[in-house]
Amino acid sequence: MDVGKLPHQLLAEMLARLRLDDRVLVGPGIGIDATVIEFGERLLVVKTDPITFATDLIGWYAVNVNANDLAVMGADPKWMMVTLLLPVGTSEKQVSILFDQLVAACAEFNISLVGGHTEITYDLHRPIVVGCMLGETTRTRLVTTSGARVGDDLILTKAIAVEGTALIAREARDLLIQKGISCELIDRAASFLFDPGISVLRDAKVAQMAGHVTAMHDPTEGGLATGLMEIAQASGLGLEIDSDAIPIFPETREICQAFALAPLGLIASGSLLIASDPSDSSLILDALDNAGITARRIGRLMPRKHGLRMRSARGLEDLPLFKRDELARFFDECKPAM
């Protein structure tokens, strides 16, 4: 198999083998961001996610991407455990820097780093960080990817693809310069990691407080296209997207054009997909705008028989889907020095 997520069909077949106890309110599934377990009046929300593409600021990434998947469930991230797998030859200074990144990112979101595992292991060419994050919510605040309904609006915050743009700028600067991309543009793209940033914690809280949010999803590996497919599949629905309404940063567009990458399939942490009751969409959009978070209505949920469709100048077409993330293809084909 190629680099990237397991094929959805294979993953679904494996997940079908699982037997869960009755305290698991939300178990694993395609497009499901985290697991929810009943703990009395509070619900425990648990997520694990590795950092495999990035080599720069990987501790900071690990905290943010795991926290995002709790936020979209309406949970407050509280505790984190981390497994660090480090290559032979890793220096004490490198370990210290990685720990500093974890500690600083956890402090930013008031998350306690409560344990984990560290190991120097063979046949690794770069560090691998695996995070496990726990948070809590209540039944009234819980949001699931499967909660979207026919007729709901789909709102996207920020633009695509924040994380993918920043990663390429940070990991492949020399290749970008060879392609004629200016240093100024590369610097702007690299800064996307922090501005607009890959965290969606504020986006999720503002949206949920402003109106009736039926589902949220953090489109990560596979980009916006995969995120849209996952929210539709989890909810058992179809959707129709307006391609002209999808915001794309000029830096993202230029970098993608340089390497013939599709922005819709490029890892998209930093953007939040929100399914909302149409009567509340304007309230949510206004609240996000007042919080300094750009957002646009990009489509709506449809009956399942409608399929996954996207409207463009060419008319109504199938939503493009990607077997693997465009970033994985970029690293595979371009092989930047890492």
CATH number at residue 67: 3.30.1330.10
Choose among 113, 144, 131: nearest CA to 35: 144
Q: Are residues 192 and 95 located together in one domain of the fold?
A: no
The identity of residue 283, as a single letter, is L
Residue at 158 is within a domain: yes
Place of tokens 């590795």: 50
pLDDT values of the chain reduced to their tens digit, one per residue, 338 residues: 766 677 778 888 888 888 889 899 988 877 777 899 998 889 999 999 888 766 778 898 899 999 999 999 999 999 999 999 999 999 999 999 999 999 999 999 999 999 999 999 988 888 899 999 999 999 999 999 889 999 999 999 999 999 999 999 998 999 999 999 999 999 999 999 899 999 999 999 999 999 999 999 999 889 999 999 999 999 999 999 999 999 999 999 999 999 999 999 999 999 999 999 999 999 999 999 999 999 999 999 999 999 999 998 889 999 998 988 899 888 877 766 54
Residues 150 and 228 in one domain: yes
- What distance in Å separates the CA atoms of residue 56 and residue 60, rounded to the nearest whole number? 9
Neighbours of 197 (CB within 10 A): 19
Residues 6+ apart with CB under 8 A from 305: 238
In angstroms, the CA 301 to CA 274 distance is 11
Cα 175 from Cα 330, distance rounded (Å): 11
Cα–Cα distance between 241 and 224 in angstroms, integer? 11
Pick the closest to residue 262 from 218, 319, 314 (CA basis).
Answer: 319
> Please, what's the b/e burial string for 225-248 (b: 16 or more CB within 10 A of its CB; e: otherwise)?
bbbbbbbbbbbebbbbbebeebeb
Sign, Cα dihedral of 74, 286, 107, 102: positive
Give me the CATH number covering residue 257.
3.90.650.10
The torsion defined by the Cα of 51, 227, 209 and 47, in degrees rounded to 10, comes to: -40
Interatomic CA distance for residues 28 and 20, integer angstroms:
10
In a domain, 117, yes or no: yes
Number of domains present in the structure of the chain: 2
The C-alpha torsion from 117 through 118 and 121 to 127, rounded to 10°, is 110
Residue 160 has what DSSP assignment?
B
CA–CA distance, 299 with 274 (Å, rounded to integer)? 11
- Phi, psi (deg, nearest 5) at residue 308: -100, 105
Same domain, 124 and 154: no
**Based on the domain organization, do 121 and 202 belong to the same domain?**
no
Closest CA to 331 of 20, 1, 2: 2
**Looking at residue 4, what is its pLDDT?**
66
pLDDT on residue 335: 63
pLDDT of amino acid 298:
98
End-of-domain residue from the set 137, 164, 197 = 137
Could you tell me if residue 2 is inside a domain? Answer: no
With H, G, I as helix, E, B as strand and everything else as coil, classify residue 81: strand
Do residues 100 and 186 share a domain? Answer: no
CA-derived radius of gyration, the chain: 19
Which residues form the domain of 287? Answer: 145-334
Question: Are residues 127 and 154 both part of a single domain?
Answer: no
Whether 113 and 222 map to the same domain: the answer is no
Domain membership of residue 3 (yes or no) is no
Does any domain span residue 52? yes
Q: Which among 114, 137, 160 is the end of a domain? A: 137
Sheet of 128-137, strands arranged across:
24-26, 35-39, 42-51, 128-137, 76-87, 112-121
Can you tell me the distance from the alpha carbon of 296 to that of 29, in angstroms, rounded to the nearest whole number? 28
